[in-house]
Amino acid sequence: MKNKQFILWFNQIGLKDLAKVGGKNSSLGEMYQKLTKKGIKVPNGFAVTAEAYWYFLKATGLDKKIREMLQGLDTHSIKNLSRKGARVREVILAADFPQELEAEIIKAYSQLSKFYKCQNLDVAVRSSATAEDLPDASFAGQQESYLNITGQHSLLESVKKCMASLFTDRAISYRVDKKFNHFKIALSVTVQKMVRSDLASSGVMFSIHTETGFKNAVVINASYGLGEYIVKGLVTPDEYLVFKPTLKTGYNSIIGKELGGKRHKLVYAIGGTKTTQDMVVPENDQKRYVLSDKEILQLSKWACTIEDYYKKPMDMEWAKDGRDNKLYIVQARPETVESQADPNVIKKYILLKKGKVLVQGAAVGKKIGQGKAQIIGDVSEIGRFKENNVLVTEMTDPDWEPIMKKAAAIVTDAGGRTCHAAIVSRELGIPCVVGTSQATEAVKNNQQVTVSGAEGDVGYVYQGLLPFRIKKTNIKKFKKPKTQVMMNLGNPETAFVESFIPNQGVGLARQEFIISNYIKIHPLALIHFGKLKDPAVKNQIEELAVHYKNKSQFFIDKLAEGIGRIAGAFYPKDVIVRLSDFKSNEYANLIGGAEFEPREGNPMLGWRGASRYYSEKYLPAFKLECQALKKAREEMGLVNIKLMVPFCRTVEEGKKILKILSENGLKRGVNKLEVYVMCEIPSNVILGTEFADIFDGFSIGTNDLTQLTLGVDRDSELVSHVYDERNQAVKELVRQIIQKAHQHKPRRKVGICGQAPSDFPEFAQFLVKEGIDSISLNPDTVLDTSIKILEQEKKRR
């Protein structure tokens, strides 16, 4: 007994003590000692050490018994694994702690209770294996946790259960896969004051975007009650995205907020033998965000502080106490998947053909997998799962891991991007779609399916085995052209991924995708919500903007978030955001749009672009757009956002728009704001010098410029054979605008964001020859077209 350390307090341990107290405890001790000084709140506690674990096994003879029991272990046989794991756990739970060890645990618990000025403190009892939380192995959920443990007897039982959980089926299987020796890993136990999140909320947080490896974002998941439901995938949590670089300089840089379905929560049990119980969340609470913006920013700042201290991307658990209303960090460990990826290799899964969508949910991993769907209803059925099938189930927990590694893809009814199924599939490199709500009903057993997470944040389960390919690109030796190569983007969900492609910013960020897919509602329908005639439309709007009393603010916030996510992805490079360019028929298709839009014979040449913004009929809606852009630039700090005015027919229209922008906090030249004009009408070229007097530059839109130069309706199949961006008349106008812009005093920039250089590499070479400043391309053409640009640049020397 002499010199044995059975108990170590958080203020006695740190990262150097991994072998003594395991990953969880060593990290908690490090934070408690070093980061509480920086304002991060970490509940106090102590570790039952690895030495205590070995002493327990040797003093009771369990070490020899367990070795004998694990002889002949075959983790590929579910029955063999299950039988041996159960026997080991049984003998551990049946053994008594040595008296001196028991006394030390009780003494420490008494001291912790006194520290918090109570008699029997409620504590969390968690496992902390000595090999867990390493940079390349998360050991997520491998051992057990017990919440709301009070009293000496319950504490001792929970500590013993944690030690036994070192030999759960999933923990045994995981160690075999990772080639860890069962008898070189010990189990330390965390005993930590409970945060009363059952009265408030809790969740997980990453200092890296876990789906893409984008390092400049904090991702927070939040739900009501104790945190186990998020990890186990029993709820689909809220998800918040925060942009780190501008957050660190004092901006409120929340670039994404997604409302989750939080129907249930785990709370303290009242009476009986159970320590926790399920509770249904009131409907009003389900429809509001769990955290306030202030709390989201506070947690994000802590994430940055923790990451900076550990010098690596981190995976953290947080909790809010419903009694003192304060936030706490209850765990932090290295992120083990995306932070280990090779940043020089871009691997892209491309679905070549789409099919019938059976279900959709949150995409985990930007991959595609396919095979026969196999529906497994309960963990007791996992023995019948066949390798390379697609696992379809309500949810998974760590007991499912022996079969998860055999799956071609995983689909769940419940859960968010940080639930167990998501964490494990990410680590295994298996495509996964979580939170589908109805996969177990909509997908049939043995049905051939394709699971795609390669199309953004939304993952799809398609009927049939659809063709796809994998494109790998090593960008380590990629040489950048002198001509700026930028990108055309519209979908914020893909922005983080696309940012890894060699680029010099975004030459065209379209707002239309954000409005039609995120907002879905006509801005005037939000402004005049109380006066809408159609009750069905009002119900739709109420459902989408349920947590907004001021419906107009919904438009502002969602547009700002979408733009902010694109601008953040490419920060500090320029992101040129085109003001909305829907036609009247497209606006009419938005929810409530039919009540505010005219019927035009040729919308392509009608009420669109600049003429719409200053019209009294639409001006109030345009002001919402201005407020969203101002929010992204000023509140989020994304001053790399530039503006671009589309379909500006006359110089007078341009002056009107600049005046409105200025009146709404977007004054050209203030706070680095530049305003460009689209060059897509012959008048923009003919009066190029006059347009250059009032705008900072041009972006050539070849689609409309070709249409209006050749007099061709680009939507008409009858004359489609005439439509060609490479026509000499179009090229002549392009040549002229480049010359006029460059000869202007001061010199004006000219870029191109039209489709032509993406479709025709020779057109890109023509642009280089003419001396264009930037070429904005579709992301999938950037690398190939850049090579053509380099070839042309060599010829110009």
Are 7 and 49 a contacting pair, CB within 8 Å? yes
Closest CA to 470 of 350, 624, 295, 614: 350
Q: What is the DSSP string of 75-109?
A: TT-HHHHHHHHHHHHHHHHHSPPPHHHHHHHHHHH
Token representation of residue 246: 């501008």
Instruction: Locate the DSSP E strands across 493-614.
Output: 506-510, 575-578
Token representation of residue 302: 């802590």
HEC profile for 142-199? CCCEEEEECCHHHHHHHHHHHHHHHHCHHHHHHHHHCCCCCCCCCEEEEEEECCCHHH
End-to-end Cα, the chain, rounded Å: 81
222 bridge partner residues: 203, 238
Closest CA to 132 of 226, 44, 23: 23
Rounded to whole angstroms, the Cα distance separating 9 from 313 reads 26
Rounded to whole angstroms, the Cα distance separating 750 from 676 reads 9
Are 125 and 159 a contacting pair, CB within 8 Å? yes
Rounded to whole angstroms, the Cα distance separating 622 from 231 reads 42
Residue type, 160: K
Helix axes 782-796, 761-769, angle to 10 degrees: 40
Helix axes 651-663, 619-630, angle to 10 degrees: 60
Q: What is the DSSP string of 413-446?
A: SS--TTSHHHHHHHHHT--EEE--SSHHHHSPTT
Token representation of residue 460: 């799809």
Q: Which residue's entry shows tokens 């000595």? A: 130
Q: Residue 135, preceding bond cis, omega within 30 degrees?
A: no
Helix axes 62-69, 50-60, angle to 10 degrees: 80
Q: What is the DSSP string of 720-763?
A: TTT--TTSHHHHHHHHHHHHHHHHSSS--EEEE-SSHHHH-HHH
Closest CA to 63 of 95, 21, 86, 17: 95
Burial 291-326, CB ≥16 within 10 A → b, else e: beeebbbbbbbbbbbbbebbeebbbbbbbbbbeeee
Residues with catalytic annotation? Answer: 420, 753
